[in-house]
Structure 1
Amino acid sequence: MATSQKSLQTVTRILTAISGIAMFVVLLVPIWQIQLSAPQYPEGLSLYIHADKLSGDVNIINGLNHYIGMRELHEQDFIEFAILPYVIIFLGILGVLAAVVNRKWLFFCFVIMFAVFGIVAIIDFYMWLYDYGHNLDPAAPIKVPGMSYQPPLIGFKQLLNFGAYSIPEKGGWIMITAALLSVIAVIKEIRSKKKKI
């Protein structure tokens, strides 16, 4: 009886395993995207954020940023790109391990660490956007008093003649799905415990 109380339900193990495996897939695809649209760029400009790099129209965006005093985007300037892949791998291993070992304490460790990771990642991303949008070069060719160029954390924002859309990419949607599966697993475990009581 003591062993069963420490074990997970089969559905919880399956959901946790899927969540853990999903984290490895995140390493292979972009996590977030920022789309820019303007009359002079009818095809739009794209910036894709991966776990370990940037892709898309990075050079063009850097050229435009120069005029308004924003720093250029270079991967080596972001310590996150050196750390994030290992954090994602760790969470993936922990999720799969929790499903295989079949112990509640390990499962809840995975869920808590996943939640903390999500909160820290959102705060870090917001601070990154804030810094790049507000820490401008005073010698920039184009200066608009009181204007900042912080892209939205999520959703749409007008920045001068550019419209900026910030939304999850494939990796982001995968992580959101994995988080939802983990929440469902937690609810099932709590309900199961209440039934036993």
Structure 2
Amino acid sequence: MKKASVLMIIGPLFLLGLFVFPLWNIMLGAPQYPEPLGINIHIDGIRDVNEFDIQNIDGLNHYIGMKTLPKPEDMWEFSTFPLIIGIMVFLGSLIGLLGYLGKVNYQWFIGWFLVMSVLGVMGMYDFNQWLIDYGTNLDPNAIMKLANPDGTPMSYKPPLFGNAKMLNFDVSSLPSTGAWMMFTGMMMTVIAFFTGQRAHLLKSKK
């Protein structure tokens, strides 16, 4: 159980990487931009991949009526997500410590993982809703008004995950370093659960 508990203490600490590294990355490449434009989405705001990328993206989006990229104060998520991650890191490592001291059993480990998974799904849903609003709620007075072949307004929603073609831009949307660190930490808590379960079964057979 002690080995499982050590894994449970360490696993949630990987989520601290979200305070340093971006969670998600969106890149836009086109022939007129030899170096693609990009944004890194952190849990506390959106930042350039290269200097002036946000400024250039906002400039392009102005022509088709898209909103400017939000600043941290424009979205409640950027103040709430860091708090949620901090609480989950503290609770996860505390559960691991209590497991090491024999105060809780291994089932608490998977409980933390399930709660974190639900929060993650909710976060992805919220992110996708923002992308939908960002790509479809366009200014009717925009300089350029493009439509699909059937006459409906064209959507500029970036993909939630993967690649898409938008006008002459190739757009990619993929998890970044922070997301992979979070995934690694969460998988460590799953391993901790099965390690603790195995130790419990071996002990009960004696």
Q: Look up the SS of the partner of 2:160 in the other structure.
A: coil
Match of residue 4 from structure 1: none
Q: Counterpart in 1 of 2:43?
A: 51
What is the aligned length? 189
Distance 1:134 1:29 in 2: 29
Residue 91 of structure 1: CA displacement?
Answer: 0.8
4+ residue segments displaced more than 4 Å: 190-195
1:120 aligns with 2:122: yes
Q: 1:67 aligns with which of 43, 53, 63?
A: 63
Question: 1:71 deviation in Å?
Answer: 0.7
Partner of residue 144, structure 1? 146
> After alignment, is 155-164 or 178-187 more displaced?
178-187
Q: How much identity, in percent, do the aligned residues show? A: 38
Deviation string for 1:145-197 (max 9, x for gaps)? 13101111111011111111111111011111112222222333445555547
**Post-superposition offset of 1:49:** 0.6
Alignment of structure 1 residues 1-197 onto 2, 5 Å? 9-56=1-48, 57-75=53-71, 76-102=73-99, 103-104=104-105, 106-145=108-147, 146=152, 147-193=154-200, 196=204
Name the CA distance, whole Å, in 2 between partners of 1:46 and 1:117. 26
TM-score by length of 1: 0.88
| 3-state DSSP of counterpart to 1:142 | coil
CA contact (8 A) 2:8 2:192 kept: yes
Compute the RMSD of aligned alpha carbons. Answer: 1.7
* TM-score using structure 2 length: 0.85
Gaps of 5+ in 1: 1-8
